[in-house]
């Protein structure tokens, strides 16, 4: 996934480094104040970020954590595990990191979302597909959208139980509505295909 870097921004006399969007996402997860391992961050991103942004891989998370530690936005330490497994490294946001992510959330330009919709691209190339295949593609997309809607619905209730996750729960609600719309759009498109096929059948019969 290609990311654009936000330009360095001034904070008083200091200039903050330019960071990719994934850095801000990882730092944002840490901004809730908990000390988290890379595994924890991956789990959190799978349960939240993936609904509206994307969920970075483990290697990307650790790469961003290294970057953030190098610029002083997070600090880390090794902790022993009670299970007897090897020690793990946990990360916590620094005061400088909290100031930076707060400034980014407040001041970064609002970028419009970029729509990369594979199913729409396939439909655009519908003249190359059989009608049944196109309906199969739309049907699979409908199933995916409904599955994501249900998962977001469950996660909304989980997030609501944590006071600190008030705003993430709102975003999850947005995600639930988004996937509801995607499901309904797939249904509408299937109906549009039926209507188009019906018109073609009538013109052919004439």
Among 188, 178, 116, 186, residue whose Cα is nearest residue 149: 178
Q: What are phi and psi of 36, to 5 degrees?
A: -130, 145
* Distance between CA atoms of residues 189 and 135, nearest Å: 9
pLDDT of residue 13: 35
pLDDT of residue 205: 62
Contacts 24+ apart (CB under 8 A), 54-60: 54/1, 56/22, 56/25, 56/26, 60/22
**How much of the chain exceeds pLDDT 70, in percent?**
91
Ranges of the chain with pLDDT below 50 = 1-13
pLDDT of residue 157: 87
pLDDT of residue 4: 43
Among 195, 72, 57, 60, residue whose Cα is nearest residue 131: 195
């Amino acid at each position: 996934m290609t990311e654009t870097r936000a330009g360095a921004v001034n904070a008083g006399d200091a200039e903050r480094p330019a960071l990719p969007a994934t850095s801000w996402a990882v730092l944002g997860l840490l901004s809730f104040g908990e000390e988290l391992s890379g595994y924890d961050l991956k789990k959190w991103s799978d349960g939240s970020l993936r609904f509206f942004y994307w969920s970075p891989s483990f290697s990307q998370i650790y790469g961003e954590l290294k970057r953030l530690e190098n610029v002083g936005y997070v600090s880390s330490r090794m902790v022993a595990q009670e299970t007897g497994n090897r020690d793990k490294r946990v990360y916590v946001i620094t005061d400088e990191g909290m100031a930076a992510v707060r400034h980014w959330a407040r001041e970064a330009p609002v970028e419009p979302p970029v729509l990369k919709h594979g199913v729409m691209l396939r439909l655009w190339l519908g003249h190359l597909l059989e009608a049944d295949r196109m309906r199969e593609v739309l049907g699979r997309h409908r199933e995916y959208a409904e599955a994501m809607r249900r998962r977001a619905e469950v996660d909304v209730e989980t997030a609501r139980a944590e006071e600190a996750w008030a705003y993430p729960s709102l975003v999850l609600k947005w995600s639930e509505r988004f996937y509801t719309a995607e499901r309904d759009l797939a249904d509408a498109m299937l109906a549009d295909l039926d209507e188009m096929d019906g018109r073609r059948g009538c013109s052919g019969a004439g």
